[in-house]
Amino acid sequence: MSFATRFAPSPTGYLHRGHAFSALTAFRAAQEAGGRFVLRIEDIDATRSRPEYEAAILEDLTWLGLDWERPVRRQSQHLTDYHAAIETLRERGLVYRCFKTRKELDIGRAPHEPAVAYRGAPLPKSEEAERLARGEAFAWRLSFDAAEKALCGFSDLSFVEQGAGPDGETGEVQARPETAGDIVLARKDVGVAYHLAVVLDDALQGITHVIRGVDLFEAAHIQRLLQALLHLPTPVYRHHRLLVGPDGRRYAKRDKAQTLQELRAAGVTPQALRAEMGL
């Protein structure tokens, strides 16, 4: 069986040790399998993506000793493909326009409570037309109920996990897309949502194995649903553990984890970094 995997960073910050671990894990798996390694720049969020972060990603990965297929796919250059997929879903009655603002969705929620999975319904045609005429912003949401009907339930939705989920899930895993509610597939500021772009690109790039951190395990459940609705193949998943720092906490952009650029400037070598990660 052919093997293709990818590293798909979002250029919204500098890479840190956690990214290096993920990229190296995927790269090594491709080498061991004699397969392909793809780098994909997930820059659909134009409000947060910056060219200097993308340049730093390429520099960091080269420094780490990785090599990838060219040309590199940049999601921002393929928005029309993603919109075409939303249009297909719309024609099948699987998505609807949701005009609720973040504020409206958050009513009654205390700041410490997680956002509840939203379940809504399309507005009556006349109200929708009025709001559109007023130029109100909306998001395309996937109707969970319509999806469930279209697929006659979700009992056939499973994926193969060769790593492990947060609760040790491994092997054949039953997908539970219902916990996410009516997910947003596109909105005004971010033309397409992460899940949709990922499933389309994984299929288009022939990815057979998705190797990424276990923090994205829940995403696999939603992505499995989208694959079924869009008749796309389901790759094998290999979610890996997250690297933790000396304080026992995972490395994260928002915690200002030391970046690979900083490590390099401090004289750390890629060999030392790999050894530290047990790779």
- Which positions touch ligand GLU (CB under 6 A)? 8-10, 42, 198, 212, 216
- 188 counts as catalytic: no
Largest distance between two CA atoms of the chain: 64
The Cα–Cα gap between 209 and 195 comes to 16
Supply the Cα-derived Rg of the chain in whole angstroms: 20
143 vs 223, which CB is nearer to ligand GLU?
223
| Collapsed DSSP state (helix, strand, coil) of residue 267 | coil
10 vs 227, which CB is nearer to ligand GLU?
10
- Whether 76 and 83 have beta carbons less than 8 Å apart is answered as no
76 vs 106, which CB is nearer to ligand GLU?
76
Instruction: Report the nearest approach of ligand GLU to the CB of residue 198 (Å).
Output: 5
Instruction: Report the nearest approach of ligand GLU to the CB of residue 10 (Å).
Output: 4
57 vs 146, which CB is nearer to ligand GLU?
57
Give the CB-side neighbour count of residue 26, counting CA atoms within 13 A.
32
The Cα–Cα gap between 106 and 115 comes to 7
10 vs 25, which CB is nearer to ligand GLU?
10
Instruction: Report the nearest approach of ligand GLU to the CB of residue 160 (Å).
Output: 16
DSSP E strand boundaries for the chain: 4-7, 36-41, 73-74, 95-98, 139-142, 158-161, 171-174, 184-187, 209-213, 236-240
Instruction: Report the nearest approach of ligand GLU to the CB of residue 218 (Å).
Output: 11
Name the residue type at position 203.
Answer: A
38 vs 94, which CB is nearer to ligand GLU?
38
DSSP code string of 128-155:
HHHHHHTT---EEEE-HHHHHHHTTSST
Alpha carbon 67 to its chain centroid, in Å, reads 22
The Cα–Cα gap between 98 and 101 comes to 9
Q: What angle do CA 252, 253, 258 make, to 5 degrees?
A: 85
Active site residues: 253
